[in-house]
Amino acid sequence: MDRRTLAGGLGGLALVIAAVVALRAGDAPDTLKREIEDGVEVVQQQVPTKPTNARTQALDADALQIAWNGSASAYEVRWNGHEQLVPGPEVEIPGLVPEQQVEVEIRAVSATGKRSEPLMIAATPKDLYNDKWDDQLVGQLDRFDGPEALEPRKWRVEAEPECLGLRPFGQSKRVDVDCSMAAFQSNTPLRFGVPAADGAIGRAVISVAGAAESSHVRLTLLPDPWQYLKENDVEPRGAVSLDITTQGTRIVADPELPRTGKQVQLGDAQLTGLVAGVRHRWEMRVLPDAVLALRDGVVVAYEPVAVKEPLVHPRIRIDSGGFLDAFGVGGVPERVVPTEVFPILADTEVPTDAVAAKIVLPEAGNQVRVTELPVRAGKIVAAPPAQLVVIRKPESRPGTLPKLADRPGGIKTGGPRLHVMHEDGAKPPQRLPHSGRILVTAEINAIGHRGIELELDGRRIVSMPTNEQGAAVPGRHEFWLDVKKLALGSNARLKLSVLPADDGEPVTTETVFELG
């Protein structure tokens, strides 16, 4: 699949400038001629309507978040001479002057590039920022702004080498996750204490953004000794998780945890899940008789269970990409425990600077066996999947920092897609009736393109510009094909081409269907 980036994104500097497009000599943005073959009917799109009901907040004193109501393909956001395209009704603008009011214009954009009238917002980030949000946390907040943030004494990272990078965020950077799965195991345990003013005996807070529609973040509080095992899709015994997708947020608890019957009133939140390119702050708040999920301070989910273990170990898992901003915990202060986990090979030995060592082995029935080792044990005799756990001396030199290459800002999008359906409801791989009409849906996920073309069995039947009033955005186009007028045979091949503004190679996709 072709992966593109929705320009602008979180960096705030990689911008889509609608008036500047690279075209062939003599061309203008609207020079792609609209051509529709006889037998093709274009489903007319609604004129984009002005966004409404703007809502503002700030997770940092120099960053502004704006959400609004609307149903357009995408939106154009303008501020301080900058422009940015976003795929949904929400944006975050970092790198602002905290005390300075910023004026923002937001326009809905159709799939053909038409713009609506602007929604106007004026806000000052510092006035919206709540600097008391971290008063209940203990220890130092982890801000994932460089390789040092993943220092091996504090975090054990499970990810492919090229998975992690750094993306711009205002004047700083944040850790970008771009792979199917990455896990971050904290070496600092969370110990529950006496209830605070809000009833919490402990809490874990994570600030994160999604990368795509399939992004999935899970923050799990693991009891001993599950923190030593690799990440998998099995829910550990006694664990409780904050589970976040683009569809919403929930608490997932081990069914064996005691149910309490606690009732909790949920807050008023229009959205409760991840948003591509926009950070939100989630809190997993542990009460004596329930575990709550809060998004930006609003309770959005809960589970009426009692966590039995007094000490747990936080683990962050990100699937299908994401943007990791910050993490912190609240409870009884605990020190970092520099822990490393190794596969046991033929020559594996306990390191000389170890203060404790053990072998952990997952067993049937969702069990884990732990064998303590003397620190002078020498070579280890055990077979996979057993692993060696080593806790090193506090003064030991940490391992190598992860290599995090710089990446461009933006929101990742996929390639174009084609869908075919007969007017009677039949879809491939079924044979479609050799009569009537066929609905073709073209989903475009690219940005900055100048138009699309649709070919049927090698001949062009649609040519349509998509940048009528500025840079093109992701969108959906629908066409009715008249089977008889287009003289379709028993097999038909459709090809969709997305034409880039710089006259480069088109991005294409094809589909084949049968008629009979």
Question: What span, in angstroms and rounded, lies between the C-alpha atoms of 119 and 32?
Answer: 30
Question: What span, in angstroms and rounded, lies between the C-alpha atoms of 454 and 436?
Answer: 20
- Token pair, residue 283, equals 């809190």
What pLDDT sits at residue 2?
35
What pLDDT sits at residue 398?
66
What pLDDT sits at residue 456?
95
Using DSSP, state whether 388 is helix, strand or coil: strand
What pLDDT sits at residue 25?
28
What pLDDT sits at residue 23?
27
Strands (DSSP E) contained in 178-332 are 181-186, 190-191, 202-210, 216-222, 240-245, 248-253, 280-287, 290-295, 298-303, 311-319, 322-330
What b/e string do you get for 197-233 counting C-beta neighbours within 10 Å, with b at 16 or more? eeebbbbbbbbbbbbbbebbbbbbbbbeebbbbebee
Domains of the chain in sequence order? 147-337 (2.60.120.200), 339-392 (no CATH), 412-514 (2.60.40.10)
What pLDDT sits at residue 31?
63
Whether this model's pTM surpasses 0.85: yes
Strands (DSSP E) contained in 270-424 are 280-287, 290-295, 298-303, 311-319, 322-330, 339-343, 354-363, 367-373, 387-392, 405-406, 411-413, 417-422
- Token pair, residue 136, equals 């209940």
Are 280 and 296 in contact by the 8 Å Cβ rule? The answer is yes
What is the mean pLDDT for each group of 10 consecutive residues in the chain (516 residues)? 38 30 34 90 92 96 96 94 92 96 97 95 96 92 93 92 92 93 96 97 97 92 95 90 97 97 94 93 98 97 97 97 96 93 85 90 90 84 86 80 85 85 95 94 89 95 92 92 89 94 90 92
What pLDDT sits at residue 18?
29
What pLDDT sits at residue 240?
98
What pLDDT sits at residue 9?
39
